[in-house]
Chains A and B, each alone.
Chain A
Amino acid sequence: MFYLSADVHPREDPTAQKLGEVADMLFRYSRKDFNLRVGECRIEYTDNPRFTLVIDTPRTVRRLLLRRSPFATADAFIRKRVDLEGDFIEGLKLKNDLVERGRTLRPAEKLKLFFHLFRM
């Protein structure tokens, strides 16, 4: 079963809520067969994920999204700030969704994204 919008945990945590909104925006057109974990926050789209994208802190999320550099992402993976649990190759394909979504984000969505990122 897939959820269209993220089910976030802990539910009352404002950072988890913002991360959920950021994820919903970025993965709006993605196949939601994966989950995310950022620090202690869980952002879940499915009960049966093919993979889980693990990011150590919300700060890393902010840094990676603002820098938008594949080198920075690769470096974060090598330094274990970013990891993939489950189907590794399927997880790597998520980069296409992010690149494609980056091209189609409307100005209002970009503003909202930046707003969330800076307030996390």
Chain B
Amino acid sequence: MTTRVRIAGALLATAMGASASQSETAPVRRTGSVLYATTSRLYLDAGSREGLAPGQIVQLQKGTCRVEQVSATRATCLGTGRAGDTFGLPPPPPQPPASRLAPLPAPSVVEQRRSTLGSAPHPKVDFHQGSSGLEARQGSADLGIGHTTWWTSRVGSSSQERVDALIRDLPLGAGFTLDVDLSARRWSRRSGPISFRPDDATQLYVWEASISRRTAGGPAFSVGRVRPYRVPGQVILDGAQAGWRTVGGTEAGIFGGVVPDAVTLAPSVDHGTFGAYWIGQHSYPGDSSLRFLRHEARIAFIDTADLGKRVEGEALLEARITRQVDFAFDVRGGGTVSGGVGSMNSVGLEALRVDVSARPLDSVNLLGSFRYDGLSIPELDGPGRVLNSGAVRHADFSAAWEPMDTLRFSVVSGLSSDLLSHTSRRWIGPEIALPRLLGDSAGLSAGYFREDGWAPGSSAWLQLLARSHGVFQLIARLSWFRTAGIAPVDLDELGASAAIQAQLARYVALRLSVFGRTTLNGQTSPFGPATGQVAFADLEIAGTF
């Protein structure tokens, strides 16, 4: 045996010995680390084998977390931190006393047991494919009871109580579902000049009350007060929508019914609508540039009190291109029908909307939109007064940069033009945000706008967001505004608002929103005799099921 072979043999023996001893007596770990970190939960690289147990408090480098669940080698921990944070592990649990295992049974005994088990009868369990897709939804219900007060100094207050109900896809059996969206309101006090339904202290609005059945590869229909399902731009109707839905989710059909009053939503047989629709959506493989495509279209005849008899056509296209770009495009055209279908006038483009969002880098987000509404709709504004509403052009663009999780810079700009009064306003300004000023519990943001147009001015604000996930959320905001051209002097206003949402129980939440503002009216003191104050408070107890 040569010297080389002896050395190799010695090394091999040493390596094998070291490996064996490592497997028998692995060194006890004294530290663990955070593998992943979400907003409220950490994933640790240690588990029960390292002595972690549910409820245990783990001391991180910065802060603590409470162990939620453990497996042998991993654990989840409720708290905040970052991936890579380390923590000390508790002393390992004492090893149970070694006990000698019973000797293995003889091969003949094992074989006897195997044959006994193999011949024993047992019931078979069949596999049942669960329901999937949108049909798997179990429905939801939001019920709320609330009170709102509006107050103006030296004028008085108006108060309203209300009950709201929103039910979505509630299963009724046999594939039928119920959708309801309504609000009942009672004015307990109204002050000042009133434009909206001044003589109706009690008001009921039903936007939707329909029974539907939508199954993939079969008929799809809704009946009742219907908000036509994914039919772009279609007004609600008392009637029905019926179509055919393919397994892939493509749907085509028709709808028709009478149209309720625009202000009171009272049923009316004086006006109606009918038409046809198309819905399609497709997902593409992950390596495709086009990831998702949705296209919807509608053509309808509509007879309403405000616009008369009309024919409308609308198409919507929405696409996700790679993981970085979302794009939506909606266009509507139409024309007034005088004397019946076929004699149309003033046919043209009535609405156009484009929305684009892009995330070229993980830290950069760009949003832009353009909206054109060319249709002017007459509205009865108080007794005997008719105003023409609508006909606007709006555009906005924002860019945000997040160099780190705790810091975000953004620039927001926009333009809004009224095509009837030929007035417009523009705004642009920066915003800086510290969304994780105190971890996930609190964030702060501040911004400023410079405004131009028929009512030029400036705005500045400071906003605080504090929350405990799923339990409590507070948004508090201080604002300052200066507006010119809207009063005899430049108008300075100071405002404060707060919105609180507290989860009182599993299904019950409290929402409180308060707002106050003082208008200086050319004075220097915010609460001088010539100033004006306004306030608003809204309290709601909401149940979500």
Whether both chains belong to one complex is answered with: no
